[in-house]
Amino acid sequence: MAENQSKAATRANSPAQAPVLRPGRAADPVPVPVAPGDQTPATVPANPAAESAPTGQAPETSSESEPSADRGESRDTDSGKPERVLAESRQRKLRLMLRQCDRVLLMDFDLLAMNGWPDNYTMAEARRSRDLWLFSALIAAAVFLSGLTGFVPAWIAGGGFGAFVIILLLGVPAVRRIYTTKPSYLDLIITRQRMLREARQHVAHLEGSDGLIWQCARMADFNPALKNTRFSHLLRLSESRSLSRQLTRREHVRLYLICLLEAEKAYSRVQKAFFEGNQEALDRGWEEVAAEPEPRT
pLDDT, tens digit (0-9, with 9 covering 90-100), for 42-96: 444 444 444 444 444 444 444 444 555 455 555 555 556 787 778 778 888 888 8
Cα–Cα dist 179/128, whole Å: 17
* Positions of the chain with pLDDT lower than 70, given as ranges: 1-80, 285-297
CA 213 to chain centre: 14
Q: Which helix (H) or strand (E) holds 72?
A: helix 60-100
- Tens of pLDDT, residue by residue over 21-32, are 555 555 555 555
Phi-psi region of 156 (alpha: psi -120 to 50; beta: other; left: phi over 0): alpha
**H helix or E strand, kind and range, residue 253:** helix 250-284
Asked if residue 217 lies in contact with residue 226, where contact means CB atoms within 8 angstroms, the answer is yes
Residue 179's pLDDT is what?
84
The pTM of the whole model exceeds 0.75? no
CA end-to-end span of the chain: 129
pLDDT at residue number 174: 86
